Amino acid sequence: MIAFVRGVFAHKTPAQVIVDVNGVGYDLHISLHTFSAISNLEKGQLFTYLHITENGHTLYGFHELREKDLFLQLISVSGVGASTARMMLSGMRPEEIVKAIVQGNAKQLEGIKGIGKKTAERLILELKDKLNKQAPDVAMLSPVDAQQYSMETDALNALVSLGIARPLAEQALKKALKSNHLTDDLTLEALIKMALKNI
């Protein structure tokens, strides 16, 4: 599995980018959200997801890890394919999609090309609780709270990747943050270490 590619953006369109990595060109399908983020950049890193079907392999690229995470959540829902998920991330920002699902706003989701009433309702039914636990409305948070949320999310993902059960990791992080308020000089590494002491 290719986790990310880093190189020169040799060719860009609102739906595609070719990344030159040491002379090898990776053709990535991207959302409008990612295109907006990289449109003025000559080089950079994109997180990737390799979608394998009987018709071929397609590599998707994401400017942010949270966009990739949301993409994976979306395609886990029956009836939502990779193309539809990319269309959703082109029609709405990741935080807008999360907000619509968490608030049960099917009408807003139906406004995206390829999303009908049944699919919108299925997205809400299957993802509402998951997204509600993972992502509060970041758009409504103050810069300081948004920074804390971002660091908490990164720390939680790191703990889970270490093999710690998500509920246990969440509890350990809460304890760590309660005893040590987030400050400008607190690093992600320090937060993870504090959480590990609470497990």
How far does CA 28 lie from the centroid of its chain? 16
19-30 pLDDT, tens per residue?
999 999 999 999
Q: Decide which of 17 and 33 is more confident.
A: 17
113: pLDDT strictly greater than 60: yes
Q: Indicate the SS3 state at residue 43.
A: strand
Enumerate domains of the chain plus CATH numbers: 4-62 (2.40.50.140), 65-134 (1.10.150.20), 141-197 (1.10.8)
Condensed to tens digits (0 to 9), the pLDDT of residues 5-21 reads 999 999 999 999 999 99
Q: At CA 115, angle to CA 114 and CA 121, rounded to 5?
A: 160
Residue (of 144, 101, 162, 98) closest to 152 by Cα position: 144
For residue 184, the model assigns a pLDDT of 54
Nearest to 158 by CA among 136, 120, 191, 182: 191
Structure tokens at 16: 């595609």
**Is pLDDT of 155 > 90?**
no
Cβ proximity of 61 and 48 under 8 Å: yes
The pLDDT of 63-80, averaged and rounded, is: 92
Q: Return all residues near 133 (Cβ < 8 A) that are at least 6 apart.
A: none
SS3 151: helix
Measured CA to CA in angstroms, residue 86 lies from 35, 52, 91 at distances of 12, 15, 9
pLDDT at 134: 64
DSSP string, 100-131: HHHTT-HHHHHTSTT--HHHHHHHHHHHHHHH
Radius of gyration of the chain (CA): 18
Hey, what are 96's tokens? Answer: 């807008």
- How confident is the model over 38-57, as pLDDT tens digits? 999 999 999 999 999 888 89
Two tokens, residue 86: 């990319």
Distances (CA, A) of 62 to 41, 50, 159: 14, 12, 22
